[in-house]
């Protein structure tokens, strides 16, 4: 049997496999690129993957669009098929998956003994999310997000890195947001309990400033 030092060093050598869970607008897509850069991880956002399918007008995109516009969850079997092809042996941040306990079980099956290193919960009150979502601007090519007030681009409506135009997401309106929040509370919060029972859930205060949220995540990963 390994001693604790051996176990710790083996864990340190393992690629980081992380999951981000939080309501819409809690900052998952803001923090993921920071971790991607810092730890050299793949950023796998199911929302971004689905939006690519929608813009390419694939069968999956046409099917998913009906749900996404209303702020409803896309059916599990479509998401699980999509994600199975992209979760590999390298380190990653899964942003927006799993969102149901069924998806979490399937992810465990996909990863087998490798498992997840940590799951980060972005905890924040619903009332703070409306202004975040309604003021959000995104760069469709990279998924980078900005905010007209909290994180404005250097040139209005223009991505800082590529100079390409920014857009508003079609589901960033009040009605779809209410449905997305309802889906989060009803279907996704049980996933937190699933990971709490595995002892890998860490909660950060997502109402803090972005730099402070990043410090909390780093501290959680160093535990």
The catalytic site residues sit at: 28, 99, 136, 169, 180
Binding to ligand AP5 by residue 39, rule CB under 6 A? no
Q: Which stretch binds ligand AP5 (CB under 6 A): 4-12, 54-62, 147-155, 197-205?
A: 147-155
CB 167 within 8 A of CB 140: yes
Task: Check residue 210 for interaction with ligand AP5 (CB under 6 A).
Answer: yes
If the CB atoms of residues 73 and 120 are measured against ligand AP5, the closer one turns out to be 73
How far is the CA of 140 from the CAs of 4, 29, 54, 167, 168, in angstroms? 45, 12, 12, 7, 9
Q: Taking CB under 6 A as the rule, does residue 132 contact ligand AP5?
A: yes
Binding mask 100-119 for ligand AP5 (x = CB under 6 A): ---x----------------
Strands (E), the chain: 17-21, 42-45, 92-95, 118-123, 136-138, 145-147, 201-205
**Residue number, nearest CB to ligand AP5:** 47
Question: Any contact of residue 213 with ligand AP5 (CB under 6 A)?
Answer: yes
Helix (H, G, I), strand (E, B) or coil at 159: coil
User: Is 68 an interacting residue with respect to ligand AP5 (CB under 6 A)?
Assistant: yes
Tell me how far apart the alpha carbons of residues 194 and 198 are, in angstroms, rounded to a whole number.
7
Chain centroid to CA 135:
19
The first and second tokens of residue 167, run together, are 């857009």
* Contact with ligand AP5 (CB under 6 A) among 17, 21, 28, 204: 28
Only one of the segments 5-13, 19-27, 52-60, 155-163 lies at the binding site for ligand AP5 (rule: CB under 6 A); that segment is: 19-27
List 16, 35, 41, 74, residue binding ligand AP5 (CB under 6 A): 74
For 17, phi and psi rounded to 5 degrees?
-115, 110
What are residue 158's DSSP bridge partners?
Answer: 165
């Amino acid at each position: 049997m390994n001693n604790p030092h051996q176990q710790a060093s083996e864990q340190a050598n393992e690629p980081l496999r992380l999951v981000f869970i939080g309501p819409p607008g809690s900052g998952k897509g803001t923090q993921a690129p920071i971790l991607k850069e810092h730890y050299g991880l793949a950023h796998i956002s199911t929302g971004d993957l689905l939006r690519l399918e929608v813009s390419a007008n694939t069968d999956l995109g046409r099917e998913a669009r009906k749900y996404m516009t209303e702020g409803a969850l896309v059916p599990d079997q479509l998401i699980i098929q999509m994600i199975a092809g992209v979760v590999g042996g390298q380190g990653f941040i899964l942003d927006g998956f799993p969102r149901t306990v069924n998806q979490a079980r399937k992810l465990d099956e996909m990863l087998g003994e490798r498992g997840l290193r940590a799951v980060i919960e972005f905890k924040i009150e619903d009332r703070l999310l409306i202004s975040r979502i309604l003021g959000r601007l995104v760069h469709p090519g990279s998924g980078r997000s900005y905010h007209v007030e909290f994180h404005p681009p250097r040139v209005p409506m223009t991505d800082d890195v590529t100079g390409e135009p920014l857009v508003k997401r079609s589901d960033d309106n009040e009605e779809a947001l209410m449905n997305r929040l309802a889906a989060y509370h009803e279907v996704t919060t049980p996933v937190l309990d699933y990971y709490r029972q595995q002892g890998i859930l860490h909660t950060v205060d997502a109402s803090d400033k972005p730099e402070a949220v990043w410090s909390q995540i780093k501290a959680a990963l160093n535990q």
